[in-house]
Amino acid sequence: MRPRSLVGPLLLIALGILLLLQTLSPQFPLWEIAAQYWPLVLIAWGGLRLIEILVWWLRGLPLPTSGLSGGEWTLVVIVCLLGSGLHAAHRYRPWDRLAVVAGKRVELFGRTYEFPIAEQVLPARRAPRVLIENLRGATRIKGVEAQELRVRGHKTVRALENSEASETDSRTALELSAEQDRIVIRTNLDRAPAENRVSADIEVVLPKGAEVEVHAREGDLEADSVSSLILTTDTGSVRATNVQGAVRLHIGRAGSVKLMEIGGAAEIVTRRGRHLELEGIRGPVSVEGFYSGDARFANLAGPLRLENPQLTLRVPKLPGHIQMDLGDLSGARLEGPVHFTSQRALDVELDAFTKGGEISLDGGDIRLRPAPDNLGPIRARTRSGDIELALSESASFQLRARTERGSVFNQFGPALRETAEPRGGGLLTGGAAGPLIELETLRGSITVRKDTGPLPGLRKESARDTIEIETGDGRLRIQRH
């Protein structure tokens, strides 16, 4: 007699437990977990089925002719369709776009109405906790020497008639309240009808010691002179300056992110962004996400960590600057060791860096000029590209530079030796003591020369920071920001 499978009942028990948790605790993120981890059902199903068949074999019971029956394969297809659909719905949020479909008539024939948001004032202690919920629109936050919180702004409503817009405005009135140990500001835009698109631009003036948390769906944020800042939004740009403590940003699609003069840590998590600029940050910096524009880091007192699926950058301290875009990365005055890996082709130029580092590229040129003091081990590798290394004449080091298809050039002096490789490559070795420097390219040339000053490319970058123009009254200096 063929034994019956217990996999189905076990999976039903697990599903029942999850549904019970959702019923007992509505805040339990069942659908988010199911949308992200639904393939685990297939993995668990297959693993349990494999264990079950193994037990049958050990007990000498008859084995099924196929691993899964026709009905089970049908269930597999259904699970795949439901799981993929749930994942797509959770990721792309089609319900957020229903308002666009339902409001086509309003978009075609309606008009935009504007309504002022009357100023509201609430007493506050010197270091309040403030929560701002503004679903759509710009939010401007300013810290001042005061013991009160003031909110004002204006609202735009897309509607067919003025009466409809007025009703939507009244339904989405701004609320300012004190709840437990924090002050809550809500624009209540989620109360608007689906066919009316509403946005609110608000200005919040609060004590400098405020800890601010902002929840939004889309819109820009500007914050100045607060104690700390947390932002969660699907899309938007951010500019924050003079923050005493930490800044944490979680943005789905970021336009421009600019943080300056931050006293604590800076954490930025995005799926995709355009521009990034971080300067004057005294705590550790962590950046996750892909940026299609340029990224600039300068004057970072703590460690820098930048990660996305294509590259990883780690720098313990950055008193100088790093400039990066899709095609190249350049930096000066880095306190290493510097670690940079990239799975896309780009050029790298590092000047005046200490304690060495490791650089690995899928393709692109590498130009290195370590600082004459505190030279550390260096390992640089590129699949296809040239490598140039400039060393101080008095530096102590051990060198091993190899190219499989290319040439090696010794412009440093007799301390280095060139050796031809049998298949058209070259080997450059030398030095007797000091840190080990390893250079390798599969296809390209390697040049080791004496240090004659900053790299030309970085001198050009510095020259772009300040521009001088002759005028009738003298010279006009323009600082690039």
Q: How many CB atoms lie within 10 A of CB 88?
A: 12
1 lies in some domain: no
DSSP per position, 283-320? S-EEEEEEESS-EEEEEESS-EEEEETTEEEEESBEEE
Rounded to 5°, the CA angle 199-233-98 comes to 55
233 lies in some domain: no
Does this model's pTM top 0.85? My answer is no
pLDDT, residue 326, reads: 84
Same domain (yes/no): 57, 111 = no
Is residue 433 very low, low, confident or very high in pLDDT (cuts 50, 70, 90)? Answer: confident
Q: Which residue has the higher pLDDT, 279 or 28?
A: 279
Mean predicted lDDT score pLDDT of the chain: 84
444 lies in some domain: yes
Same domain (yes/no): 86, 194 = no
Nearest alpha carbon to residue 53 among 43, 64, 45: 64
2 lies in some domain: no
pLDDT, residue 234, reads: 92
Average pLDDT over residues 332-360: 93
Same domain (yes/no): 347, 452 = yes
401 lies in some domain: yes
Same domain (yes/no): 374, 292 = no
**Domain boundary residue, one of 60, 92, 124:** 92
For the stretch 142-169, pLDDT in tens is: 999 988 999 999 999 988 889 989 999 9
- Which phi-psi region, left, alpha or beta, contains residue 355 (left: φ > 0; alpha: ψ -120 to 50)? left
- Which phi-psi region, left, alpha or beta, contains residue 385 (left: φ > 0; alpha: ψ -120 to 50)? left
- Split into its structural domains, the chain has a count of 4
Alpha helices for 356-396 (secondary structure H) = none
What Å distances lie between residue 461 and 294, 330, 354, 375, CA to CA? 14, 9, 20, 24
Contact indicator for 469, 475 with CB cutoff of 8 Å = yes
Q: Which residue has the higher pLDDT, 142 or 46?
A: 142
Same domain (yes/no): 124, 34 = no
**Domain boundary residue, one of 201, 226, 251:** 226
232 lies in some domain: no
Domain limits at 399? 317-481
Same domain (yes/no): 346, 477 = yes
Same domain (yes/no): 337, 400 = yes
231 lies in some domain: no
* Pick from 126-130, 137-141, 282-286, 311-315: least confident: 126-130
Same domain (yes/no): 114, 187 = yes
Contact indicator for 308, 289 with CB cutoff of 8 Å = yes
Same domain (yes/no): 348, 474 = yes
Is residue 68 very low, low, confident or very high in pLDDT (cuts 50, 70, 90)? Answer: low
What is d(CA 150, CA 280) in angstroms, rounded to the nearest whole number? 29
Q: How many CB atoms lie within 10 A of CB 442?
A: 16
For the stretch 101-115, pLDDT in tens is: 444 444 555 688 999
Same domain (yes/no): 86, 118 = no
Same domain (yes/no): 155, 251 = no
Q: How many CB atoms lie within 10 A of CB 224?
A: 17
According to DSSP, the residues that pair with 323 across neighbouring strands are: 296, 330
Q: Are strands 304-308 and 182-186 parallel, antiparallel or unpaired?
A: unpaired
**Domain boundary residue, one of 70, 92, 114:** 92
Average pLDDT over residues 261-287: 95
Structure tokens at 154: 């204006």
Same domain (yes/no): 299, 324 = no
300 lies in some domain: yes
